[in-house]
Amino acid sequence: MDGSHRPPSPWGPGAAERMRSDAQRLRALAKAGEFAVDPHSARALARVYEDMVDEIDRVTAGVGTAERRLQLGSSPYAKRVSAYQHETVDAFHEAAAQLRAACVLCARTYREAAEHYVRVEQDTVDAFHQARSQ
């Protein structure tokens, strides 16, 4: 393989957007009855995403001290470093917000898929009992 057809990096630019888009597709499939996950697995997967949201919130709160524009001096270099750090923090917050939104959507998607699984399972049992009683 020459490497020219490599899939995008899961951590590169646009990763959170791809994750959110994939979760939306899974959610649509679940609502259409084409995707279901057993409740035990779905709860475990949803909890992983919820834990990621908690960790994102924790890390984002910890970045708060870096949000202040540092006063590193009046030289052109010091001003550039201060501006760069401020821009970096802004970019971090934007990326963290996108990842957080994607994780929230993924958790919701797996919980909904589990609900669908339970409904389908119950419908199957009901149909079986109804067929037996006829």
Per-residue pLDDT of the chain in tens (134 residues, 90 and over written 9): 455 666 666 666 677 788 888 888 888 887 787 777 888 999 999 999 999 999 999 999 888 766 666 777 888 888 888 888 888 888 888 889 989 999 999 999 888 888 888 787 787 788 888 888 87
Domain boundaries, the chain: 15-133
20/25 Cα distance (integer angstroms): 9
5/3 Cα distance (integer angstroms): 6
CB count within 10 Å of CB 6 equals 8
pTM score over 0.75: no
13/100 Cα distance (integer angstroms): 15
Residue 89: C-alpha distances to residues 23, 45, 52, 82, 103 (Å): 27, 30, 19, 11, 21
Do residues 97 and 18 lie in contact, with contact meaning Cβ atoms separated by under 8 Å? no
